[in-house]
Chains A and B, each alone.
Chain A
Amino acid sequence: MSKILNVDQLGKTYASGSKQLQVLDDISFSIQTGETFAIVGPSGSGKTTLLGLCAGLDYPDTGTVELCGTDLGHLNEDARARLRNEKVGFIFQNFQLLPTLTALENVVVPLELQGAKNPAKIGRELLGKVGLENRMHHYPSQLSGGEQQRVALARAFSNNPSILFADEPTGNLDQDTGDRVVQLLFDLNKEAGTTLVIVSHDLELAQKCQRLLRLRGGKIVADELLIES
Chain B
Amino acid sequence: MRDASIPVRQAGWKWLFKMAWRDSKASGGRLVLFVASIILGIAAVVSIQSFSKNLEENIALQSKALMGADFIIDSNQLPNEKVLAIIDSLGGADGRSVEFGSMAVFPKTSATKLVGVRGIEGGYPFYGELETEPVTAAKVYQESGGALVDATLMLQYGLHQGDSVKLGNAVFPIVGTLISAPGTSALGASVAPPVIIPYDAVEHTGLIQVGSRISYDYFFVAEPDQDLEELDRVIDPQLDVENADLDTHIDTAAQLGKSYDNFGKFLNLIAFIALLLGCVGVASSVQIYIKEKLRSVAVLKCIGASRKQTFLIYLIQIAGMGLLGGIIGVLGGLLLQQSFPLLLQGFLPFEVQISLVPSALWSGLVLGILVSVLFALLPLTYTWFVSPLQVLRVEENESQKSRKAQFWVAMGIVLFVFLFSFWLLGSALYALYFVGSILAIFALLGGVAIFFMKSIKKYFPVSWGFTARQSLLNLYRPNNQTTILILSIGVGAFLISTLYFTKDILLAQLSLETSQDTPNLILLDVQSDEKGAAAESITASGLPVLNNIPIITMRMHQIKERPVREIILDSTSTINQWILFHEFRVTYRDSLVASERTIEGSWPLERKDNGIVPISLSDNVAADAQVKLGDTLVFNVQGVLMETKVAHLREVDWARLQVNFSILFPSGVLEEAPQFHVLTTNAPNPIISAELQQKLVRQFPTVSIIDLRQVLTVIEDILGKIAWVINFMAFFSILTGIIVLVGSVRTSKFQRIKENVLLRTLGAKSKQILRIATLEYFYLGLLGGGIGILLSLLGSFLLARFVFEVSFVPSAIPFLVVLPGILFLVVFIGLLNSKMVLQSPPLHVLRKEGI
Residues of A within 8 A of B (CB): 48, 51-52, 55, 57-58, 70-71, 74-79, 81-86, 90, 92, 96-101, 105, 109-110, 112-115, 139, 141, 155, 159, 167
Contacts and interface: CB of A to CB of B under 8 A. Distances in A.
Interface residues of B, number: 39
Given A48-B392, A81-B305, A115-B9, A100 B27 contact: yes
Interface string B1-27: 111111101111001001100110111
Given A85-B303, A96-B299, A113 B9 contact: yes
Given A70-B4, A74-B1, A74-B4, A96 B304 contact: no
Given A57-B387, A96-B391, A113 B303 contact: yes
Contacts of B303: 84-85, 90, 109-110, 113, 155
Nearest to B24: A100
B23 A101 contact: yes
A79 B9 contact: no
Interface centre among B299, B301, B392 (most CB of A within 10 A): B392
A109 B18 CA distance: 11
7 contacts: A48-B392, A58-B389, A78-B307, A79-B4, A81-B307, A83-B6, A96-B302
Given A51-B392, A101-B23, A86 B3 contact: no
B636 interface: no
A55 B388 CA distance: 10
B15 A113 contact: yes
B421 to A, nearest CB: 38
A110 B850 contact: no
Given A79-B4, A109-B303, A114-B11, 9 more contacts: A58-B389, A76-B1, A78-B308, A82-B3, A82-B7, A90-B302, A98-B296, A101-B26, A113-B11
A155 B18 CA distance: 18
B389 A100 contact: no
A139 B296 CA distance: 14
Contacts of B388: 57, 81
A167 B296 CA distance: 17
B221 interface: no
B233 interface: no
A136 B608 CA distance: 109
A48 B394 CA distance: 13
Given A57-B302, A79-B1, A81-B388, A100 B23 contact: yes
A100 B25 contact: yes
Contacts of A85: 9, 303-305
Nearest to A141: B850
Contacts of A84: 302-304
A79 B23 contact: no
A79 B6 contact: yes
Contacts of B25: 100
Contact of B3 (A57, A79, A115): A79
B353 interface: no
B4 to A, nearest CB: 5
Contacts of A76: 1, 3
Interface in B296-354: 296, 299-309
A96 B295 CA distance: 8
B393 interface: yes
Given A58-B389, A74-B1, A100-B27, A114 B22 contact: no
Contacts of B392: 48, 51-52, 57, 92, 167
A98 B15 CA distance: 16
B251 to A, nearest CB: 62
A35 to B, nearest CB: 22
Contacts of A55: 302
A110 B391 CA distance: 16
Contacts of B5: 70
A109 B313 CA distance: 13
Residue of B7, B9, B12, B308 with most chain A CB atoms under a 10 A cut-off: B9
Residue in A52, A70, A92 with the greatest tally of chain B CB atoms within 10 Å:
A52
Contacts of A75: 1-4, 6
B307 to A, nearest CB: 6
B4 A115 contact: no
Contacts of A90: 302-303, 391
A82 B389 CA distance: 15
B10 to A, nearest CB: 3
Given A76-B3, A81-B305, A105 B22 contact: yes
A100 B302 CA distance: 17
Contact of A57 (B2, B389, B850): B389
Nearest to B10: A115
Which one of A70, A79, A86 has the greatest number of beta carbons of chain B within 10 Å?
A79
Contacts of B305: 81, 85, 113
Contact of A81 (B2, B12, B306): B306
Contacts of B307: 77-78, 81
Given A112-B15, A115-B11, A58 B304 contact: no
Given A77-B307, A115-B11, A155-B303, A70 B6 contact: yes
B26 A86 contact: no
A77 to B, nearest CB: 6
B759 to A, nearest CB: 25
Contacts of B26: 99-101, 139
A139 B15 CA distance: 20
Q: Which 8 A-B pairs have the closest CB atoms?
A: A85-B304, A115-B10, A100-B26, A78-B306, A76-B1, A79-B3, A82-B6, A100-B23
A141 B847 CA distance: 11
Contacts of A51: 392
A105 B2 CA distance: 32
Contacts of B7: 82, 86
Given A100-B22, A113-B305, A57 B299 contact: no
A90 B19 CA distance: 20
A101 B299 CA distance: 12
Interface in B684-743: none
Nearest to B310: A81
B1 A82 contact: no
A81 B22 contact: no
A124 to B, nearest CB: 17
Nearest to B11: A113
Contacts of B27: 100
Contacts of B304: 81-82, 84-86, 110, 113-114, 159
A98 B3 contact: no
Contacts of A71: 4
Contacts of B306: 77-78, 81-82
